[in-house]
């Protein structure tokens, strides 16, 4: 019995030692991978990933009747994609579709849709499948941005901001992602904002909604990554964080250094958005440096960040 006990004890020690060796090997492998990915990232700064072809893809853009959405629809049409335009504003949406056709892009379709209404999203999505085909690139662009002090927002204001800026993303993704998973092919792009990682006065509910978009996209990407451990997933996610874009949403921008923090035009923003999607970039700020600046500044004490914000003195003033 004493011999058996010693033998079991020895076996337990060996099992623990073997487990420790495996953990050590995993740590070393992780370090090597990390070094490799750092090197790959540096390499890609000088040799960017080739932009994938979007000709023949079916691209659905929400909020396509004006601003960034309209420019996105025009850009994808120029690249040979079939474009599906969604907007609650029927007139603006029709103008975008007609402009695409006038430029020679005949594969453009317009649908009036309230993206905040889940039943309407699913109903119109079914029409798109029947009349156009399966959407392979979904761009959640529609959004609203009331600019006023938080306590001046009515309950209806706040609910509508979240219905359009956040929940609409949930409904469109639920409508189109299942087929992407089935085909193992697709791309979802979401428009967040610089306000999605920096809190700003006079747009508090808007900031909250754009932070939520960031979390939604990160969570979706991680969920599909864990679901596809056995195979390579060809479904990609891109989250965009634009600085102030001249679309009319931001009516009273406050900028102390216009040469350094100039308002971005919709056309400039769209060039970067489409490029990021075609290169499968996970996250992109416009201009690109703000994403890295934010990460860097978060390492500093809070008072240092406040000091910098006071120095820059930029933001959004409340609408009168």
β-pair partners for 316: 253
Q: Are strands 137-140 and 186-191 parallel, antiparallel or unpaired?
A: parallel
Which is it for the CA torsion 287, 292, 293, 295, positive or negative? positive
Q: How far apart are CA 76 and CA 139, in angstroms?
A: 11
Residues 206/212, Cβ–Cβ less than 8 Å = no
**Alpha helices (H) along the chain:** 2-46, 67-78, 90-102, 118-131, 155-162, 168-183, 204-227, 266-278, 289-297, 302-312
Residues 242/264, Cβ–Cβ less than 8 Å = yes
As to burial, measured by CB atoms within 10 angstroms (0-12 exposed, 13-18 middle, 19+ buried), residue 60 is: buried
Q: How far apart are CA 151 and CA 157, in angstroms?
A: 11
Number of Cβ within a 10 Å radius of residue 185: 16
Of the candidates 3, 37, 109, 206, the residue annotated as catalytic is 206
**Is 243 a known active-site residue?**
no
Residues 65/93, Cβ–Cβ less than 8 Å = yes
Number of Cβ within a 10 Å radius of residue 251: 13
β-pair partners for 52: none
Q: Cα–Cα distances in Å, from 3 out to 9, 15, 111, 229?
A: 10, 18, 80, 45
Residues 319/251, Cβ–Cβ less than 8 Å = yes
Q: What residues are annotated to the active site?
A: 206
């Amino acid at each position: 019995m004493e011999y058996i006990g010693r033998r079991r004890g020895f076996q337990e020690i060996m099992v623990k030692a073997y487990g420790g060796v495996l953990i050590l090997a995993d740590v070393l492998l992780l370090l090597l991978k990390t070094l490799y990915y750092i090197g790959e990232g540096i390499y890609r700064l000088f040799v960017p990933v080739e932009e994938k072809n979007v000709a023949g893809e079916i691209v659905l853009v929400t909020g396509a009747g004006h601003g960034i959405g309209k420019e996105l629809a025009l850009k994808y049409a120029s690249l040979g994609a079939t474009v599906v335009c969604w907007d609650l504003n029927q007139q603006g949406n029709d103008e975008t579709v007609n402009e695409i056709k006038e430029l020679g892009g005949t594969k453009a379709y317009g649908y009036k849709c309230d993206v905040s209404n889940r039943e309407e999203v699913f109903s119109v999505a079914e029409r798109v499948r029947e009349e156009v085909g399966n959407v392979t690139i979904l761009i959640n662009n529609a959004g609203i941005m009331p600019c006023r002090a938080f306590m001046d927002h009515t309950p209806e204001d706040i609910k509508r901001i979240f219905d359009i800026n956040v929940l609409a993303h949930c409904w469109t993704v639920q409508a189109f992602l299942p087929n992407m998973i089935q085909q193992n092919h697709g791309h979802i792009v979401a428009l967040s904002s610089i306000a999605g990682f920096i809190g700003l006065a006079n747009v508090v509910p808007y900031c909250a909604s754009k932070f939520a978009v960031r979390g939604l996209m990160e969570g979706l990407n991680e969920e599909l990554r864990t679901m596809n451990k056995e195979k390579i997933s060809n479904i990609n996610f891109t989250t965009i964080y634009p600085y102030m874009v001249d679309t009319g949403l931001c009516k009273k921008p406050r900028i102390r250094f216009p040469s350094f923090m100039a308002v971005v035009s919709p056309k400039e923003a769209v060039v970067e958005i489409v490029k990021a999607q075609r290169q499968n970039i996970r996250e992109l700020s416009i201009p690109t440096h703000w994403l890295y600046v934010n990460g860097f500044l978060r390492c500093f004490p809070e008072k240092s960040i406040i000091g910098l914000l006071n120095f820059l003195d930029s933001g959004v003033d409340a609408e009168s």
